[in-house]
Structure formats: structure tokens, C-alpha cells
């Protein structure tokens, strides 16, 4: 079970690192609607992730 959590942690870290890389490289080329939708999706992503961990009992 502990190993599962460690793997989840790594998965989440890699996902966030990938997003950070994309943001650093290409956010300057995004159009204004693209930036707005990205912001909304980021907020939703962290909100759903938070709810998921809340349900897990963290």
C-alpha cells in the first residue's frame, strides 16, 4: 500500500513537471482564450485533485 502511494506521488510529480515544462516553453505563444481556458483547467485540476485526496482521508 505504501508503495502505491509512493508511485502515485511520483506520477503526480512527473505530471506537474511536464505541465511546468510546457508552460515555461509555450505559454508565451498561447492566445488569450487559450490562456483563460488553461487557467480554468488548472484551477479545476487542483480542485479535483484536492477532493480526491480529501476522500482518501488525507
> Torsions phi, psi of 48, nearest 5?
-65, -35
Distance of CA 37 to the CA centre of its chain: 14
Q: Which residues bind other proteins (CB under 8 A)?
A: 15, 18-19, 22-23, 25-31, 34, 37-38, 41-42, 44-45, 48-49, 51-52, 55-56
Cell numbers describing residue 39: 487557467
Taking the least distance from each CB to other proteins, the nearer of 6 and 34 is 34
Query: In the complex, what is the shortest distance from the CB of residue 45 to other proteins, in angstroms, rounded to a whole number?
Result: 4
Q: Which residues make Cβ contacts (< 8 Å) with residue 12, sequence separation at least 6?
A: 49
Q: Nearer to other proteins by C-beta: 6 or 47?
A: 47
Amino acid at each position: 500500500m505504501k508503495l502505491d502511494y509512493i508511485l502515485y506521488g511520483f506520477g503526480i510529480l512527473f505530471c506537474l513537471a511536464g505541465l511546468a515544462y510546457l508552460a515555461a516553453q509555450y505559454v508565451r505563444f498561447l492566445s488569450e482564450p487559450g490562456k483563460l481556458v488553461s487557467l480554468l483547467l488548472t484551477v479545476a485540476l487542483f480542485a479535483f485533485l484536492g477532493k480526491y485526496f480529501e476522500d482518501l482521508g488525507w
